């Protein structure tokens, strides 16, 4: 009992001492704060009035924004209910937006895309349009092919690095006499054929010609072969996997070299349509049209053969056109029969920025083909998938036709 009472008394004494100590500490802290306040006051007095006004207004603005954000972020259900009560259409609009959002893919925007901005929206809707009865590819009957599993979608990378080790070497040369039933027909090569509907539709429409679709993505090539069989055009259309930048030269050399009996038809057209733009400057070296390709076509094509270039990105179309002018060594010209100067056929191309062509690497070259303008319509009569999507958005395509001299 004594020990308990003594302990209790001692504890109370300690508490009193502790309380006294805390009181002294608080008092000392108050003195320090007061000294600091006087110091800040003396320093603040040395600032100009404009500086004080700026600090005051900034603090007030920050406080106002904080309150506004707080009010927006902490709006409760009661406040929302009051809003809906005052504005009956608010609840209906919110419900409608929710329903619209659950319908499916977002429609493509109608505004003009800025340079470097990818197309947005509706891959599934776009695919359905390509299968529709009013589609330019309706004759391929791929909607029926889908029902039997011949037109399944494929999973592959949309953007491929052609400079990777896998694609740096030329692919195996196609066996020309095996992939076409009649190798004597003139041939068209579609560089970067993508889904393959363009060469398939061309083969369906022009039975008297052979068509070769080339793409680096093997999955698309394999599906294109299946589609060709289902569309009954496998006799005059074929697909090959490869990087055309490095593969076209050996392929064309083989095609021409082993044609001493002239049994094979000539390559009359090469198309480069809507290639991967590779927007970043450091990736421009990945673009398909490089000096190597221009050299391959200059040496592999005969006089009169054509090269058709088009893109929905103006800068990419200009880059392709200018490279053929620069590296073609005079072996290509703009097709005067199409670029006639008629405003109904062509539209004006922008003059080049001469500062882009300064430097020793350009060797004094300045583009001049821009004076011939861009073709308003596709002269081939058959669009690509990307072209259909672009025109449906109301966007322009930049086209130019070249001729091997």
Secondary structure of the chain as H, E, C letters: CHHHHHHHHHHHHHHHHHHHHHHHHHHHHHHHHHHHHHHHHHHHCCCCHHHHHHHHHHHHHHHHHHHHHHHHHCCCHHHHHHHHHHCHHHHHHHHHHHHHHCCCCCCCCCCCCCCCCCCCCCHHHHHHHHHCCCCCCHHHCHHHHHHCCCCCCCCCCCCCCCCCHHHCCCCCCCCHHHHCCCCCCCEEEEECCCCCHHHHHHHHHCCCCEEEEEECCHHHHHHHHHHHHHCCCCCCEEEEECCHHHHHHHHHHHHHHCCCCCCCCCEEEEEEECCCCCCCHHHHHHCCCCHHHHHHHHHHCCCCCEEEEEECCHHHHHHHHHHHHHHCCCCEEECCCCCCCCCCCEECCCCCCHHHHCCHHHCCCCCCHHHHCEECCCCCCCCCHHHHHHHHCCCCCEEEEEEEC
Is 261 marked active-site?
Answer: no
Torsion of CA 326, 327, 331, 334, to 10 degrees: -40
Residue closest to 333 by CA, chosen among 282, 263, 387, 404: 404
> Which of 82, 86, 261, 276 is an active site residue?
276
Q: Which residue has the tokens 């802290």?
A: 29
Strands 346-347 and 237-241 come out as: unpaired
Active-site amino acid positions:
276
């Amino acid at each position: 009992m004594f020990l308990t009472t003594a302990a209790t008394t001692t504890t109370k004494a300690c508490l009193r001492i502790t309380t006294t100590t805390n009181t002294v500490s608080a008092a000392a802290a108050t003195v320090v704060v007061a000294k600091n306040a006087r110091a800040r006051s003396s320093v603040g007095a040395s600032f100009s009035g404009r500086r004080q006004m700026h600090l005051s207004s900034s603090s007030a603005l920050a406080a106002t924004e904080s309150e506004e954000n707080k009010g927006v972020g902490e709006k409760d259900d009661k406040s929302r209910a009051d809003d809906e009560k005052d504005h009956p259409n608010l609840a209906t609009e919110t419900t409608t937006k929710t329903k619209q959002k659950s319908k499916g893919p977002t429609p493509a925007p109608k505004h003009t895309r800025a340079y470097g901005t990818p197309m947005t929206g509706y891959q599934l809707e776009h695919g359905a349009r390509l299968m529709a009865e009013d589609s330019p590819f309706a004759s391929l009957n791929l909607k029926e092919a889908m029902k039997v599993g011949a037109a399944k979608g494929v999973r592959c990378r949309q953007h491929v690095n052609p400079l990777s080790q896998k694609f740096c070497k030329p692919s195996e040369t196609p066996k020309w006499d095996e992939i076409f039933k009649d190798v004597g027909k003139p041939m068209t090569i579609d560089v970067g054929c993508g889904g393959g509907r363009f060469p398939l539709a061309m083969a369906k429409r022009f039975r008297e010609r052979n068509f070769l679709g080339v793409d680096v993505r093997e999955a698309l090539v394999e599906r294109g072969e299946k589609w060709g069989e289902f569309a009954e055009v496998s006799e005059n259309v074929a697909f090959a996997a490869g990087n055309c930048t490095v593969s076209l030269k050996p392929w064309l050399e083989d095609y021409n070299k082993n044609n001493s009996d002239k049994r094979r038809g000539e390559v009359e057209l090469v198309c480069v349509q809507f290639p991967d733009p590779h927007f970043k400057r450091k990736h421009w070296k990945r673009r398909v049209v490089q000096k190597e390709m221009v050299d391959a076509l200059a040496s592999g094509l005969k006089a009169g053969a054509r090269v058709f270039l088009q893109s929905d990105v103006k800068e990419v179309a200009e880059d392709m056109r200018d490279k053929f002018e620069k590296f073609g060594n005079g072996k290509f010209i703009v097709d005067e029969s199409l670029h006639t100067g008629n405003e109904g056929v062509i539209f004006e191309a922008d003059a080049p920025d001469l500062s882009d062509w300064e430097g020793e690497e350009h060797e004094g070259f300045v583009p001049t083909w821009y004076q011939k303008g861009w073709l308003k319509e596709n002269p081939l009569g058959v669009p690509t998938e990307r072209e259909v999507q672009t025109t449906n958005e109301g966007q322009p395509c930049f086209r130019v036709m070249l001729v091997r001299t």
